[in-house]
A and B are shown apart, each in its own frame.
Chain A
């Protein structure tokens, strides 16, 4: 391993600009002549819009335009779409309601944009937005997914009777019924997977610009996938032909899924820029973001797990109602289906699994992928069933897991996925040692002496990452392929620009991608620049989400580097007057095998461009290669997280006393960065388990609509984490990478709730397990007095 190659904890190349305040985020971009957009949003969850009067707003100083859905439709700006078709079990297609960027006719959630004001300054635009008069006839609203399909529930879209988007199924219902009938024991759980707000610390922003001379648009946008944004805004929204729209995603301050989607505001910024012939900038306020960014999770589930007399899991049956909010966001349909039910086998050898998912509209902000996206929900179901099952069977939860682990690969689950490699007992064993499970009994007794209840919880999770094999996802309804691209441009001096279709918004690609190039070409990491986030520079790419950048993006890089090496060997062969087949490339030097004749990387690069050693008939000058890589399977990161908590029975205050994580991510490029990804994921998972909750009242008002009300985990809510890996190589891609971005968020909620329920002695605990929730749960047990 070289000091900057694969496996080295290289300090990040991108940090210099961030630690000195020289980052370049969308809100830092200022275009000459730019004006500002402020949206007028519905204060009602469900209301007919009877009148929009912008005259008073237009009369205010500095106001250039007040625009509504009427003008949007007149300009033939198309609707936002969901790009993944799901069919119901009766074969009917999902019911996708029209989603205009500005609501027309009626507003369907609090925050639904109904008009936009464009003014010279932000303050003028804000003032004028207050002066836009909108008359609403308020309609009854439905916010609870469990009530959306009730008879008499308010109907949100005519296309979707009963607010039902689809009724989908996966697996073998009959086999599962038989397993349940024949079971020695069945564990049954009702689970609410709480609704979350992603809250990347950089609020979303967009600047639209229109060049009348070239009739082309530019969009600066806080997006995780600029090319997908361009494709959708051109092909579906119809803003401009694809080659007349440039999308730039500069530094982006966190995404966690919420910046994947194509949102109304960026469409409107582009459209308005042409209308007013000025660049139009929109920057989201945080409280506005609560009403404008796609939320995550929000499942209501009943789950059953069948066990035989030996504690072997024989079947799993799951029924979930998934809240997709008021409109179908870009990838919303796929999250509670193919990213959820396909993981219900967990790490276990289970013969029969059946899952039904009803997706429903409610009068809430649209719901889509949030870190983990379907897989945290699946892991929570499986890992709670296993833990509770063990308790009900009076079996050690570790032992129950061991009895059920998949031990040979490849392993075909009953729910589509074909696991390629893993060592689940190995990760568990290592985690148990690291967590000092042997000492837990003593720690529990010590805690009891101090009046505290100590509990331990396990989560042996699995996820499907490396998203995704295009043909496979196409057969499941995806509207796009999910390959990745890379282009390696070698300069005459031997330095390299690496272009990738992935996008970094915290992941450190500028470092890890450069490490792979550095190792392969034997050049210093500082001689490699990673270029991403601009559709005028990178030809096409699918962006970053689903822990895909390493497994898919770096595989494309390797493929392009293979081609570079092949071409460079041809150049070297001409320089060294040898046969191409005799050229060996190692550590940045080309050697003629069996001789001392060699050429350095830089010399070969230069010769590729000066082209003095070969004719045009023999070899094409230059050294630049591109590649598209389409994975052949998902990757399957897995691992074991162990959480220990101490609960104060008098107050319900719960402290995470220790956290151990042993993950299998396959090959690790940069352990420092991978550990950071795990830390952040765990924090978000702990946030879900212990404090975060997007709460709507019955009228559809978001009660937790700011950072004052929505509890984000702070430094003092979390411990330091013990992190290790137990890697098995992923056989499906050239570097053996599985992906690490979502693991923590997937594993953590079940580990926390398993630990708290272990401590307090009741399974009747909902997320988030706040002090009040824990205290209330304790009151229904005898344990509130036992310890104290």
Chain B
């Protein structure tokens, strides 16, 4: 077992884990933050995307010990507890950007990262290509693309 320590959603957390524990397992099983999902085992689907030091990362591709000391944000930490939703969360609801909801946390975390990298004015082509690493089986992406474009615009008026 090995000790890990990091900051998750603004809180300092520690754990004593098997060295092969993936970040997603640490989040889900140790911290019981089950909003981050596992949809595959080959880093294709993106259901597990979280932010590590402000950048999107598939949490199934890293061991927990590899992000020792990092600042992690998960879907649960995107908005303040009991506060208003993050504009991207609101945009997914407003534009029906989700159906079963399983890929959604990863989609939203990726979407926020796209905006952080590409700005608030995103065209359809850019969004579709930036979603290369996220698979949705329900929506045909149509409304996810709309949601991300709308969420990106809304983020220009809100703290990221």
In this complex, which of B39, B93, B124, B137 has the most chain A Cβ atoms within 10 angstroms of its Cβ? B137
A200-B143 contact in complex given A251-B101, A253-B101, A286-B42, C-beta closer than 8 Å: no
Q: Is B35 an interface residue (CB 8 A)?
A: yes
Question: B13 at the A/B interface (Cβ < 8 Å)?
Answer: no
Given contacts A286-B42, A506-B99, A708-B44, contact A716 B131 (CB under 8 A): yes
Question: Which residues between 701 and 720 of chain A lie within 8 Å of chain B, taking CB atoms?
Answer: 706-708, 712-716, 718, 720
With A19-B108, A21-B34: A715-B98 Cβ-Cβ less than 8 Å: no
Within the complex, the shortest CB–CB distance from B130 to chain A, in Å, comes to 8
Q: Which of the candidate stretches A8-16, A408-416, A451-459, A606-614 sits at the interface with the other chain?
A: A8-16
Contact flags B109-148 to A (C-beta < 8 A → 1, else 0): 0000000000000001001110110111111111111000
Q: How far is the CA of A551 from the CA of B98 in the complex (A)?
A: 23
Interface membership of chain A positions 197-208, coded 1 if the CB is closer than 8 angstroms to chain B and 0 otherwise: 001111100000
A443 CB → nearest B CB, Å: 19
Contacts of A27 in B (CB 8 A): 28, 34, 37-38
Kindly identify which residue among B34, B92, B135 contacts A707, using a CB–CB cutoff of 8 Å: B135
Query: What are the residues of chain B within 8 A of A286 when measuring CB–CB?
Result: 39-42, 45
Return the contact of B141 from the options A199, A287, A718 (Cβ within 8 A): A718
Whether A254 and B35, one on each chain, are in contact in the complex, defined by CB atoms closer than 8 angstroms, is no
A715 and B145 contact, Cβ closer than 8 Å, known pairs A19-B85, A202-B39: yes
- Residues in A neighbouring B90, C-beta threshold 8 A: 19
Output the least CB separation between B143 and chain A (Å): 6
- Asked if B35 and A21 make an inter-chain contact with CB atoms under 8 angstroms apart, the answer reads yes
Q: For residues 1 through 38 of chain A, which have their beta carbon under 8 Å from a beta carbon of chain B?
A: 11-12, 14-23, 25, 27-28, 30
Bound state CA distance, A254 and B100, in angstroms? 5
The answer, yes or no, to whether B75 is at the interface (CB within 8 Å) is: yes
Given the complex, which residues of A lie within 8 Å of B127, measured CB to CB?
A: 715
Q: Count of chain B residues with Cβ under 8 Å from any Cβ of A?
A: 56
Q: Which of A202, A680, A716, A718 contacts B102 (CB 8 A)?
A: A202
Question: Which residues 1-53 in B have Cβ within 8 Å of A in the complex?
Answer: 18, 20, 28, 32-42, 44-45, 47
Determine whether A135 belongs to the interface, using a CB cutoff of 8 Å to chain B: no
Q: Is A672 an interface residue (CB 8 A)?
A: yes
Task: Please indicate the chain A residues that have their CB under 8 angstroms from the CB of B135 in the complex.
Answer: 201, 707, 712, 714
A507 to B99, CA, bound (A): 6
Interface status of A317 (Cβ within 8 A of chain B): no
Known A200-B137, A201-B100; contact A20-B94, beta-carbon cutoff 8 A: no
* Residue A256 interfacial (CB < 8 Å): yes
Is A285 in contact with chain B by the CB < 8 A criterion? yes
CA distance A706 to B38 in the complex (A): 14
Majority secondary structure, B binding face: loop
* B68 within 8 Å of A (CB atoms): no
Fill in one digit per residue for B78-101: 1 if any A CB lies within 8 Å of its CB, else 0.
110000010001101110101111
Complex interface: chain B residues within 8 A of A715 (CB): 127-129, 131-132, 134, 136, 141, 144-145
Question: For B134, what are the chain A residues with a Cβ–Cβ distance below 8 Å?
Answer: 715
B141 lies within 8 A of A673 (CB): no
Assess whether A506 is in contact with B93, with CB atoms less than 8 Å apart.
no
B59 is an interface residue with CB less than 8 A from chain A: no
Partner of B39, one of A15, A201, A676: A201
Cβ contact within 8 Å between A683 and B140:
yes
| Measured CA separation A365–B76 after assembly (Å) | 38
- Whether a CB of chain B sits under 8 angstroms from the CB of A318 is no
How many residues does chain A have at the interface if contact means C-beta atoms less than 8 Å apart?
A: 59
| Contact B132–A201 (Cβ < 8 Å) | no
Q: Is A505 at the interface (CB under 8 A from chain B)?
A: yes
Which of chain B's residues have a CB closer than 8 A to the CB of A11? Answer: 93-94, 96
Please judge, given known A-B contacts A287-B41, A708-B42, A720-B124, whether A679 and B98 are in contact too, CB under 8 Å: no
Q: How far is the CA of A12 from the CA of B97 in the complex (A)?
A: 11
Residues of A675-714 at the interface with B, using a CB-CB cut-off of 8 Å, are 675-677, 679-684, 706-708, 712-714
- A529-545 CB mask vs B (1 if < 8 Å, else 0) is 00000000000000000
Smallest beta-carbon distance B77→chain A, Å = 9
Chain B neighbourhood of A721, CB < 8 A? 140, 142
- Provide the residues of chain B in CB contact with A276, threshold 8 Å: none
With A12-B96, A507-B99 in contact, is A254–B138 under 8 Å at CB?
Answer: yes
Asked if B41 and A676 sit within 8 Å, CB to CB, the answer is no
Q: A20 contacts B99, CB within 8 Å?
A: no
Tell me the bound Cα distance from A139 to B74 in angstroms. 49
Q: Tell me, in angstroms, the Cα distance from A243 to B37 when the chains sit together.
A: 33
Residue in contact with B42 in the complex, picked from A25, A707, A714, CB distance below 8 Å = A707
Q: Could you say which residues of chain A place their CB within 8 Å of the CB of B124?
A: 720
A271-288 interface bits toward B, Cβ cutoff 8 Å, 1 = contact, 0 = none: 000000000000101110
How far is A676 from B138 in the complex, measured between Cα atoms in Å?
8
- A19-B108, A720-B124 known; A506+B18 contact, CB < 8 A: no
- Inside 8 A of B18's CB, which chain A residues have their CB? 121, 123
CB distance from A120 to the nearest CB of B (A): 12
How would residues 180 to 213 of chain A score, 1 for a CB under 8 Å from any chain B CB and 0 otherwise?
Answer: 0000000000000000000111110000000000
Known contacts A254-B137, A715-B128, A720-B124; is-contact A25 B102 (Cβ 8 Å): yes
- A to B CB contacts below 8 Å, 18 in the list: A19-B93, A21-B36, A23-B34, A25-B102, A28-B28, A28-B34, A201-B102, A251-B101, A283-B38, A285-B41, A676-B139, A679-B139, A679-B141, A679-B142, A680-B139, A683-B139, A708-B44, A716-B132
Beyond A19-B108, A707-B40, A715-B141: 8 further Cβ-contacts under 8 Å?
A27-B28, A201-B47, A202-B102, A253-B101, A680-B99, A680-B140, A708-B42, A714-B132
